[in-house]
Chain A
């Protein structure tokens, strides 16, 4: 099977991609959303045409010198600043309307205290760890009866490596997007990551399931490498097609679903694409690599 045979090429591709993501993470980091850091996000529009950005910035700097303003849509601005209370909000609105001289419509106002942000961050971390642990335990359990020639926990381990791959890539992509386009990483993004984890393991399970079945029905003469290759070949179309239907839905959502979920669907698209790739081209071949390593170790003794 060509996937198993040329697995080093696919490993290299994945490694390069993951390395690029990690470098981007270290160099640029990610832009955390206000639901993690605490802060205020206000979107306003000016029905009578938006005033000069500098004029507003000058007004706002009196309240928060670190406030950032960027244009939104045809006639509005989005302002990001520290968390504020109701009195300060009145001041901000006055600043945005240039002391009442321009008409303005408040579209959204979002102010989150830092305490809440810390809590959201902690909960996000915990859920990511829990999902990974639960999935690995589940795979180990589901494959517990398969112990020859690769023991069941190694299926779990392989799944972890594939999962890390699938999570690092969208994070890296958002690090790049954050640096160049200001994309933020918020709680919705974390939700997307968790869905990617659950979904990516689907495809991995489909291939592993087939390996399990082929091992059971196999004559015992075929090598493990051959069995895995055969399994990938047999499940190739369904791995692609199951992801394809999901990706189609997400791409539609990205284009017509509205602003609220656009970044969310993008994160899912990147993650699910990476997940499908890793299940077919990384996860399953890794089983072979692990099996050969342990065979060598045994042989060496």
Chain B
């Protein structure tokens, strides 16, 4: 008896400590290092959820994984530039079930960002670098009639038309670096071409000495140098009027810029912050109210064991919430629903045990025998029914088509596992600690339940 009580008290103290931690670490605005708020999903915190489908049709099968992970890195870098706290960028592989176009997906989550247009632009941005030629003759002709244009836009358009593509693009750049012009100390961007690019560059510079080779970034000429000699070493410099920062940015974009796999946006989701707050409040309210109603029902129907079940349920709630924090479960509206559902299901094992105890009492066993038998004999049903819940949860997790369903499944599975501990082990500990030692009329009443006297 004493042993049971000591264990029960110990468990309650631990649960209370964990409960205090869950509570104190959730206070919004707490600055203590221990602060660890719940991680809220986009539907609760507000933000943008983007799904891109990646076009892998031009990739060799063995390159797909590498390309996809470098795609992830590039997009992650761009998203980080966006200054979002805790963005999420991940690759989703459709696998056998996905098939077709949606087989490889890139999912981007931007909490707090509701200006999708800006986000989409910065993610999809591809700095296009291109070398275009214009012959010396055409350039002179253009300059000769420069005064004839009626407007500067017209002049610009005509100017851009002079240039012809060479096929030499950013794709053939192997590396870009920030360099400094030795005489002017101006930052310049040094380019090294791939071997294919080197050959092409060499041919172009050989055949067009005296002509102009314009360097175009995103369709705008940033520098139009004259070709003086053939260049065979595959190196070039862009002499724009860069500031150091601009040069650095250009280098970064050229090195990491172009997305290694073409992507197209197939799903956009934006959730305003007020809607999410309403869902959180509703979820908390629903959790508290259902806890109270279930507790009232348990105590009224199951008396002393019912009271024990309520304590076990409180331990359950605390443990599950703590696990959410420990392993960083991202809570969504569906996840909160799963948690509330699990509060209703967590006491199922208790109900099975207590009903069984009542039966054993009716068979004429003493209180302690009835309790032992109740726990022992209800175990099979509890095990079997929880296994069926786990089967559902695991399948939902693996085949859930989106993060909402996966979030639901994860919470559901955690709930089932924790409830097996609290409803069986913890309940038994508590019940043994407080159970009346003698089998009297009163103690039988306390342990029994329902309206009718126990009978079979």
Contacts and interface: CB of A to CB of B under 8 A. Distances in A.
B269 A111 contact: yes
Interface residues of B, number: 77
Interface in A106-146: 106-113, 115-116, 118-120, 122-124, 126-127, 130-131, 134-135, 138-139, 142
Contacts of A134: 391, 395
Nearest to A85: B265
Contacts of B388: 135, 138-139, 198, 201-202, 205
Contacts of B190: none
Contacts of A247: 344
Interface string A241-255: 110111111101101
B290 A248 contact: yes
Interface of B: 43, 51, 53, 94, 97-102, 114, 116-117, 120, 265-272, 274-275, 278-279, 281-283, 285-286, 289-290, 293-294, 297-298, 301, 333-334, 336-337, 340-341, 343-345, 347-348, 351-352, 355, 359, 377, 380-381, 384-385, 387-389, 391-393, 395-396, 399-402, 404-405, 408-409, 412, 450, 456
Contacts of A123: 97, 399-401
Contact of B355 (A113, A120, A238, A257): A238
Interface in A50-101: 83, 85-86, 89-90
A181 to B, nearest CB: 20
Interface stretch (A3-11, A12-20, A169-177, A259-267): A259-267
Interface in A207-237: 209-210, 213, 233-235, 237
B282 A248 contact: no
Contacts of A252: 286, 289-290, 293, 340
A168 interface: no
Q: Which 5 A-B pairs have the closest CB atoms?
A: A258-B282, A249-B344, A113-B266, A198-B392, A246-B344
A233 B452 CA distance: 14
28 contacts: A83-B266, A86-B117, A86-B120, A89-B117, A108-B272, A110-B270, A111-B269, A113-B267, A124-B401, A131-B391, A131-B395, A188-B334, A188-B405, A195-B392, A209-B384, A210-B381, A213-B377, A244-B297, A249-B343, A257-B282, A257-B283, A257-B337, A258-B279, A260-B279, A260-B333, A261-B279, A261-B336, A268-B341
Nearest to B409: A191
B399 A206 contact: no
A202 B348 contact: yes
Contacts of B268: 86, 89, 109-111
A35 interface: yes
Given A127-B400, A202-B385, A205-B381, 6 more contacts: A118-B102, A188-B334, A202-B389, A252-B340, A257-B286, A260-B334
Contacts of A35: 401-402
B43 A241 contact: no
Contact of A245 (B117, B270, B275, B348): B348
B341 A250 contact: yes
B116 A261 contact: no
A132 B391 CA distance: 10
A242 B348 contact: yes
Contacts of B340: 249-250, 252-253, 257
A106 B343 contact: no
A199 B345 contact: yes
A65 B345 CA distance: 47
A252 B83 CA distance: 39
Given A86-B117, A242-B352, A248 B405 contact: no
A249 B278 contact: no
B116 A89 contact: yes
